Amino acid sequence: METLRTFGHFTRDSLALLVRGDRYYYGWIAFLLLLMALGGFAYAAQVREGLIVTHMRDQVSWGFYIGNFTFLVGVAAAAIMLVIPAYVYHWGPIKEITLLGELLAVSALVMCLGFVLVDIGRVDRFWHIIPFVGRLNLPSSLLAWDVLALNGYLLLNWTVVTYLLYCSYTGKAYNRSIVIPLVLSSIPMAVSIHTVTAFLYNGLAARPFWNSAILAPRFLASAFCSGPAILLILLQILRRTTRLKVQDEAIFKVAELMAYTMGFNLLLTAAEVFKEFYSNTEHLVFIRYLFFGLKGHTGLVPFAWASILTGAVAFLLFLVPRTRTNWVTLNIGCVLIYASVYIEKGMALIIPGLTPDVLGDIYVYRPSLTELLVAAGIFAMGFLVFTLMLKIAVPLMLGEFPGPASKGQPLRKPAAYIS
């Protein structure tokens, strides 16, 4: 009962914190809300008219929404790139920022679920996929597994960060026997969310482009470089805009890990390309459509090569210690990695998987304005969630949270977050 009341105070104080801020904060929130409103209007029209307002059709029945979903699952999974060095290898400098990785995972998952929700034709029946309420087709449907894995991972991360923040609010030490197992179990969970998402495509014999055994490893490799790329930029912004200390070492260590995963990602892509071109079967048609175009349709070609090129350049920038520890080249590398993987997951995975269609028809898909607006709205929602969570988490991490202190209670300053 006492705990419940304190938690109530925590919630109230947190909410109070959200409405306080300077004009940059308000401007940023207003900008996100504006994007969300635009997305909301576009989505309302989509609900009214049907998915006809997208450019998806029977031949290419999944598109931009599912591409973004797939990319963001990777971002969510990438939180473990911070958890592993911090908790498996007990590497100090990273422990302080692990919480930020988990917050990023939570907001990425919110966006994932948003993209799935806008993609389904009957959003009024979303409850059919809720376990025990609807009718989940287990064990045979990978989409049903994905619902469980993603929501489980969201719940896990949400619980851990809320508990940790609550503990530093009350100034009491957290219970290690609760937190450490949860944090450690987030490692296999993170691997499983991206693996299950890969299996979603991988298991379809009808689509040879996806039906390759290295699809799941490729997903993991690309996720473990794109997720940290976002995080490295965010960390630099945070240490400029808040008093949060993020050590250079921590950033460089993450960058080093990214060099390995990016190299592995490029190797796996090369393995896939070799298998397709050397064996030269009828399945080559999809990868040919992607890299060279088919029957005069070359819309994807520049994207495909851009993804390869940016990935390769970023790999070199992160591989060489001098460019890895130079802020300019490091940030260029982050942007290039982001671009490479975003293009690869967003365009170069879904579309060539479905083009030509199963009967050889080529339907040229590109996202419609509605799809772009709705996607922008969902990204804005994710950023909003992330911003609001940071607004609460950063002062707590710094020991500056106004709540209990204003009530005359001493607040223990939590220097290293979880140790």
Q: List all residues 6 or more positions away from 394 whose beta carbon is below 8 Å from its beta carbon.
A: 238, 242, 244
Q: Give me the least distance between CB of 63 and another protein, in Å please.
A: 10
- Burial 378-405, CB ≥16 within 10 A → b, else e: bbbbbbbbbbbbbbbbbbbbbeebebbe
Residue closer to another protein by CB (options 180, 369) is 369
Residue closer to another protein by CB (options 5, 122) is 122
Residue closer to another protein by CB (options 206, 309) is 206
Q: Give me the least distance between CB of 19 and another protein, in Å please.
A: 26
At which residue do the structure tokens 């958890």 appear? 83
Assess contact for 355 and 60: CB atoms under 8 A: yes
Residue closer to another protein by CB (options 209, 386) is 209
Q: Give me the least distance between CB of 278 and another protein, in Å please.
A: 19
At which residue do the structure tokens 């993170």 appear? 190
Which among 7, 6, 72 has a CA at the least distance from the CA of 381? 72
Q: Give me the least distance between CB of 117 and another protein, in Å please.
A: 10
Assess contact for 369 and 357: CB atoms under 8 A: no
Q: Give me the least distance between CB of 72 and another protein, in Å please.
A: 17
| Residues of the shown chain interacting with another protein in the complex, contacts defined by CB under 8 A | 49-52, 54, 56-59, 61-62, 116, 119-130, 132-137, 140-144, 147, 200-201, 203-207, 282, 285, 353-354, 356-361
Residue closer to another protein by CB (options 130, 309) is 130
Amino acid at the residue 169: Y
- Dmax over CA atoms of the chain, in Å, equals 74
Residue closer to another protein by CB (options 201, 401) is 201
Q: Give me the least distance between CB of 116 and another protein, in Å please.
A: 8
**Sequential DSSP letters for 350-382:** HHHHHSS-TTS--------HHHHHHHHHHHHHH
